Amino acid sequence: MKHLEGKHILVTGGTGSLGQVLVRRLLSGEMGRPAQITVFSRDEAKQHYMRLDYMNKEAATDDVIYQNSQDLLNFRIGDVRDYSAVIAAVRQADVVFNAAALKQVPSCEYFPYEAVQTNINGAQNIVRAIRENRLPVELVVGISTDKACKPINVMGMTKALQERIFIEANRDCTDTRLMCVRYGNVIASRGSIVPLFVEQIRDNKPLTVTLPEMTRFLLSLDKAVDTIFAAINTGNRGETYVPQVASAKMVDVAKALMGNKDLPIVFTGIRPGEKVHEIMVSEEECFRTEERDGFYAILPVLPELRVHREVNIALTEEYSSKDGNLSLESLRTLLGSADREIAAYMSA
């Protein structure tokens, strides 16, 4: 079913790593051809180069900005922190993907209120725009993270509250389906460890790993988008979708990327706000987690939002990156399949 056929779609944070892949996949028409896709972000330079890339032009001309308003892909400068900018953008949307975020863990530790304003207030501005103006938005998908599960850092805490804001909003935004997706370390995203390792290997520098035992979930940008599309296709109001993906020790990721090189690995110690292992579904969430087509669907924490009272429980213990880590050989295969994404990131 082509759920997004003929829809006006708003992607906040659309110039980010995930946002750009999401836009590319939306433009492919696999979920139906939208009437228009609007990228909403505060970075005019990233929008400019994304626009040129879409139009297949290397240099800006006077017609680029004008033509943009006529095209399927549209760009809008704004910040999710600014309610007036949010309402102006959401007013024109049938579907909203909220990918705007402050997501680097140490940065959020040093500037916690900045994370609050983007990750919490930004989500609340979207909900407020729909609720107070009775906007006919059909679907909102909040992009969350494994760090929101049993959070110990500011980034995770703010994302956990973002999830609850979107989920609770289903109670009185009754014509809107608000959902979340939660996933782990995206291999080629900005600030991810894999591009850092690639740069260090390219420059023949020691590879920096925090702790020998540190693990993370690993998935490609396309798998992250698959999770979003799965939520759209089979998810209910207030649910949170989680992909079933591999996990690995970071020291093994470093070794797998090294290939035939023999570079030293230096352990630098845990950074502010970091976990040793990440969790995607907590033991408290297990009793309301179902399996659907290769994904986990966490039912709403508020029981009145659940479609069915009975749950086909899929997990008996928390879903943690410490379990079932990939072997070196399997890691090489996984990272090899993500080469295109890593190369695109490195050349950006």
Over residues 197-208, the pLDDT tens digits come to: 989 999 999 999
Give pLDDT, residue 181.
98
Give pLDDT, residue 334.
85
Give pLDDT, residue 66.
43
Give pLDDT, residue 63.
53
| Residue 240 lies inside a defined structural domain of this protein | yes
CA distances from 40 to 29, 175, 188, 225, 336 (A): 20, 23, 22, 18, 32
Q: What is the largest CA-CA distance in the chain?
A: 60
| Residue spans of alpha helices (H) in 203-249 | 221-234
In angstroms, rounded to a whole number, what is the distance separating the alpha carbons of residues 153 and 146? 12
| Residue 96 lies inside a defined structural domain of this protein | yes
| Bridge partners (DSSP) listed for residue 40 | 12, 76
Q: Which residues are CB-neighbours of 38 under 8 A, at least 6 positions away?
A: 8, 9, 10, 11, 14, 74, 75, 76, 89, 92, 93
Joined together, the tokens standing for residue 28 give 């492919």
Give pLDDT, residue 308.
76
| CATH label of the domain that carries residue 52 | 3.40.50.720
What angle do helix axes 154-168 and 122-133 make, rounded to 10 degrees?
Answer: 10
| Residue 132 lies inside a defined structural domain of this protein | yes
**CA 288 to centroid of chain Cα atoms:** 22
| Bridge partners (DSSP) listed for residue 207 | 265
The pLDDT tens digits for 259-274 are: 889 999 999 999 888 9
From the candidates 147, 159, 255, 275, give the one annotated as an active-site residue.
147
| Residue 288 lies inside a defined structural domain of this protein | yes
Which structural domain range is residue 30 located in?
8-347
Give pLDDT, residue 191.
66
| Residue 336 lies inside a defined structural domain of this protein | yes
In angstroms, rounded to a whole number, what is the distance separating the alpha carbons of residues 104 and 248? 20
Low-confidence ranges of the chain (pLDDT < 50): 64-66, 68-69, 345-346
C-beta of residue 74 within 8 angstroms of C-beta of residue 37:
yes
Give pLDDT, residue 52.
87
Q: Is 168 helix (H, G, I), strand (E, B) or coil?
A: helix
| Residue 1 lies inside a defined structural domain of this protein | no
| Residue 3 lies inside a defined structural domain of this protein | no
pTM: 0.91
For the chain, how many structural domains are there in total?
A: 1
Q: Which residues are CB-neighbours of 201 under 8 A, at least 6 positions away?
A: 207, 257, 258, 261, 263
Give pLDDT, residue 71.
76
147 is catalytic: yes
